[in-house]
Amino acid sequence: MGDLYAVILAGGKGERLWPATLERPKPLLPFGGQGRSLIRATYERVLPLVGGERVYLVAARGLSELLAAELGLPEGQLIVEPFGKNTAPAVGLAALVLGSRDPEGIMFVLPADHRIEDEDAFRRALRAAARAAEEGYLVTLGIRPTYPATGYGYIEGGEPLLEAEGYVIHRARRFVEKPDRKTAEEYLARGNFFWNSGIFIWKFSRILEEIDAHLPGLSAALARLRSHLGKDTWEAALREAYARAEGTSIDYGVMEVAERIATIPVSFGWNDLGDWHAIWEVSREGPDGNARFGAETAEVDAKGNLVFSLARKRVGLLGVEGLAVVDSPGALLVTRRDRAQEVRDIARAFAAREPDWGELYKLDAHGMLRVIERFPEQCREALARGRSEALPRGLSGFTRIVVVGMGGSGITGDLLALALPEVEVITVRDYRVPGFIGKETLLIGVSYSGNTEETLTAFLDGLRRTDRALGISSGGRLAELCRERGIPWIGIPQGFQPRAALGHLLFTLLGALEGLGCEAADVDEALAVLADMADELVPDRSPNRAQELATALRGRIPVIYGVTGITGPIAFRWRTQINENAKQPAFSAELPELCHNEIVGYELAGELFPGLARVFLRTAHDHPRVALRAEILKDVLRRRGLGFVEVWGEGEGRLAQALSLLYLGDWLSVYLALLNGADPTPVVPIAELKERLAREP
Ligand code: PA5
């Protein structure tokens, strides 16, 4: 007999398992028995039959990485589809890839998300099916019906063909679509109709022959693809092949029309776990028949309910029967179990509810969107202003810059450090400057309003140590103080929120520092990249990356990961912009440090805080070991079923890549504000706190 291969297919939206499938694809849900995910159970079930090296996974990009991480499957055993397109292309693709190496090999096609009680019986059935496949049959496992199901297709069994492993393999007369209730009852009574399990067994060469005979589009696509096997051109060719292939199921496209079809009637406790009722059936416990996943329940007079929670939530059930209660970070389902089939309608109803951006823009009463749109111009204008400043020669000759500033102004110091990697730039967000600074230091006081008490106090503290100093603000006490003391001061336009004047603060300083011999590299490139991004991210531009990201983060607590020295401050800016614009919590952390602490927090994150959303900010300038760390962290997250998003900087240089990420974050935070129902501009709590402080001299 040819070698045996298990090909696990994963796809489908799992809409009837809403809202759990919003968080995790169905194969990763913990319904495989003994706390295992469905795909792990599928994998372990077939391992003794084929061995670890001959288990392959077919899934679309994105999903395939998640599932492979769950199984620890090496890349060579992954067959990545460019996008999901039903089972016929997936089967054809696997048969092409594996059959090109071993045409007479036998393929078990296994959906990733079925449950099987008697695993020995299952493996015996597959072995028996392989015997029939060896003789050229296309074999399907036919489940002996236990009730007149209307939710499955049926196979009508014909005369017996052969016997193996204690099973009788029958010719399959025909495949029939899901019947109505009356027909299903007839099928049950006749005894030779079996549920179509979607588990198939055939030789690679045979299924490819049948695809050639019945699916001309797929056949032609596979034929073209063959010459790209193992080459760099594979991905592009595959995308094209998938675009051309028929997006049909293997049942409909081949099994219903092919010759030499066989079926093995089996009854090993099969369930495709299609909805919450099916899940309850295989997991109810105790005399009251309640089933619980994740939740800690207290039950009083409650029977036949299912409770599922992604977080370790306490759920009380009082006087209820036959319910499914399904909790996820962003959504909650409460339904009667006997209506579980209709949950798909709920999933679709929500999916159809796209945000009405036109309405949401009206929340932006103070015009933050417009200010963000003009950010590239603001930077350009500011650079010209800075370059036109003639700072006294006496300021030059410093070996260090200390920037004192808070909040939206303080970030200027971090970004100066990023833009001027050759100069030591320290940002002080405090009332005092460090004791080690002296005359070699250029002290820069940055306060948009000019009135921030920590900044003013630290500036005065710094002035005791160095007389190389400079102030920048839109006015306020800082301007007065500089005038009184004869310190150079640069004025920037009034009327902005401090965080929205970052271009004025940063680029004015960059321009001015050029005159003192500090020139940032790649400034022009950075400005050009920002201008392109403004076109791409403005309201009404669709699709809009920033809006998509905001939608993905809605209702979550974002944790933004940057890299020390480059995107670390950008991650911090995302966090503070999300705080101030979107009025919600957000946190940031830096690589590599987070590999020494935060990573441990992943252990219980899924159970305790499933609502966190991690975002990696990446650039091509990350240290190679840091880049490797990011890859490993992503893998660790995937293995724990924890989601993340990764965004890459644009352009070539460090500054362009970092600022492009900053700008994306600014847009995202404003869109998130609108999704949160908030006007992005006012920051009432900051103003209130400042007022209270002002009352206490
Ligand atoms: O964004 C804000 O409004 C704050 O973070 C301010 O920037 C912060 O309070 C410091 O004020 P200023 O920038 O005027 O010095």
What is the β-pairing status of strands 314-318 and 331-336?
unpaired
Is residue 78 located within the same domain as residue 178? yes
Two tokens, residue 249: 């199921």
Whether 596 is catalytic is: yes
Q: Is residue 439 part of a domain?
A: yes
User: At residue 241, what is the residue type?
Assistant: A
Name 42's bridge partners: none
497 lines ligand 1 (CB under 6 A): yes
Predicted structure pTM score? 0.88
Residue 334 shares a structural domain with residue 404: no
In a domain, 78, yes or no: yes
| DSSP 8-state secondary structure symbol assigned to residue 361 | G
**Ligand 1 contact via 680 beta carbon (within 6 Å):** no
Residues 516 and 571 reside in one and the same domain: no
Residue 567 in contact with ligand 1 by CB distance below 6 A? no
Pocket test for ligand 1, best of 371, 372, 449, 459 (most atoms within 8 A of CB): 449
- Regarding the beta carbon of 474 and ligand 1, being less than 6 Å apart is answered no
Q: Name the phi and psi angles at 6, rounded to 5.
A: -100, 125
3-state secondary structure of 524: helix
What's the confidence (pLDDT) of residue 1?
Answer: 80
- 86 sits in the region (left: phi over 0; alpha: psi -120 to 50; else beta) called left
The torsion angles phi and psi of 300, rounded to 5 degrees, stand at -130, 120
CATH assignment of the domain containing 223: 3.90.550.10
Question: Both tokens of residue 514?
Answer: 């050029």
* Residue 567 sits in the same domain as residue 622: yes
* Angle between helix 204-214 and helix 216-226 axes, rounded to 10 deg: 130
Q: Give the burial class of 538: count Cβ atoms within 10 A of its Cβ; 0-12 exposed, 13-18 middle, 19 or more buried.
A: middle
Euclidean distance between CA atoms 570 and 562, whole angstroms: 7
Q: What is the CATH number of the domain that holds 623?
A: 3.40.50.10490
Q: Is the CB of 498 under 6 A from ligand 1?
A: yes
Shortest-distance Cα residue to atom 5 of ligand 1: 407
* 225 in the same domain as 159: yes
How far is residue 568's CA from residue 423's CA, in Å, rounded to a whole number?
18
Q: How many angstroms does the Cα of residue 564 sit away from the middle of ligand 1?
A: 23
Q: What region, left, alpha or beta, does residue 342 occupy, with left being phi > 0 and alpha being psi -120 to 50 degrees? A: alpha
Quick check: CB of 455 below 6 Å from ligand 1? yes
In this predicted structure, what is the pLDDT of residue 330?
87
CB of residue 96 inside a 6 A radius of ligand 1: no
List Cβ neighbours of 295 (8 Å cut-off, separation of 6 or more): 307, 308, 309, 312, 313, 314, 315, 327
Q: Calculate how far, in angstroms, residue 388's C-alpha sits from the geometric centre of ligand 1.
A: 26
Positions of the chain with pLDDT lower than 50, given as ranges: none
**Cβ-based neighbour number of residue 696 at 10 Å:** 5
Edge to edge, the sheet with strand 306-309 lists 291-293, 306-309, 323-328, 331-336
Last residue of a domain, one of 229, 249, 271: 271
Taking each helix axis from N to C terminus, what angle separates 523-537 and 545-553, rounded to the nearest 10 degrees?
70
Q: Give domain status of residue 373, yes or no.
A: no
The overall average pLDDT reported for the chain is: 96
State which ligand 1 atom lies nearest to the alpha carbon of 580: 1
User: HSE of 404 in the Cβ direction (CA atoms, 13 Å)?
Assistant: 29
Specify if 224 maps to a domain.
Answer: yes
Q: Is the CB of 499 under 6 A from ligand 1?
A: yes
Quick check: is 503 in a domain?
yes
Q: Last residue of some domain: 256, 271, 286?
A: 271
The upper half-sphere exposure of residue 399, i.e. CA atoms within 13 Å in the direction of its Cβ, equals 5
User: Is residue 318 packed enough to be buried (19+ CB in 10 Å), middle (13-18) or exposed (0-12)?
Assistant: exposed
Whether residue 148 is found in the same domain as residue 220: yes
pLDDT at 13: 85
CA separation for the pair 492, 483 (Å, rounded): 15
Which of 371, 372, 452 to mutate for ligand 1's pocket (most ligand atoms within 8 Å of CB)? 452
Kindly state if the Cβ of 669 falls inside 6 Å of ligand 1. no
507 in any annotated domain: yes
Which atom of ligand 1 is least distant from the CA of 452?
Answer: 15
Q: Which one, of 680, 612, 668, lies nearest residue 644 by Cα?
A: 612
Residue nearest to atom 9 of ligand 1 (CA): 407
Say if residue 161 is in the same domain as residue 230. yes
Atom of ligand 1 nearest to the CA of 455: 15
Q: Encode pLDDT of 592-632 as tens digits.
A: 999 999 999 999 998 889 899 999 999 999 999 999 999 99
Closest to 570 measured CA to CA, from 649, 505, 496, 638: 649
Ligand 1 centre to CA of 544 (Å) is 29
* CA–CA separation, 3 and 24 (whole Å): 33
Q: In this structure, are 288 and 265 located in the same domain?
A: no
Ligand 1 atom at shortest distance from the alpha carbon of 497: 3
Q: Among residues 520, 554, 579, which one ends one of the domains?
A: 520
Strand partners, 320: none
32, 38, 39, 44: CA torsion to nearest 10 = 10
- Rounded to 5 degrees, what are φ and ψ at 563? -115, 130
366 φψ region: left (φ > 0), alpha (ψ -120 to 50), beta (else):
alpha
577 and 511 assigned to the same domain? no
**How many domains does one find in the chain?**
4
Domain boundaries, position 224: 4-271
Q: pLDDT tens digit string along 131-174? A: 999 999 999 999 999 999 998 999 999 999 999 999 999 999 99
State which ligand 1 atom lies nearest to the alpha carbon of 476.
14
pLDDT of residue 52: 95
Which residue is catalytic, options 159, 484, 596, 691? 596
Catalytic: which of 23, 381, 580, 590? Answer: 580
Residue 265 lies in a domain: yes
Indicate if 287 and 265 belong to the same structural domain: no
Cα–Cα distance between 49 and 201 in angstroms, integer?
Answer: 13
Residue type, position 118, single letter: D
Active site residue 231: no
The sign of the torsion formed by the CA atoms of 241, 245, 250, 255 equals negative
pLDDT of residue 312: 85
- Asked whether residue 364 is domain-assigned, the answer is no
Q: Is 452 in the pocket of ligand 1 (CB under 6 A)?
A: yes
Q: If 0-12 CB within 10 Å is exposed, 13-18 middle and 19+ buried, where does residue 312 land?
A: middle
Is the C-beta atom of 459 inside 6 A of ligand 1? no
Task: Return the closest-CA partner of residue 382 out of 488, 496, 255, 263.
Answer: 496
CA-based radius of gyration for the chain: 31
> Which entry of 178, 182, 439, 690 is annotated as an active-site residue?
690
Residue type, 193: F
Q: How many CB atoms lie within 10 A of CB 572?
A: 20
Residue 26 is a catalytic residue: no
Atom 14, ligand 1: residue with shortest CA distance? 449
Residue 449 CA to ligand 1 center (angstroms) comes to 7
CA separation for the pair 249, 255 (Å, rounded): 9
Say if residue 145 is in the same domain as residue 188.
Answer: yes
Q: How far apart, in whole angstroms, are the C-alpha atoms of residue 200 and residue 106? A: 10
Smallest Cα–Cα separation from 347: which of 275, 446, 240?
A: 275
Q: Is 407 in the pocket of ligand 1 (CB under 6 A)?
A: yes
Same domain membership, residue 401 and residue 334: no
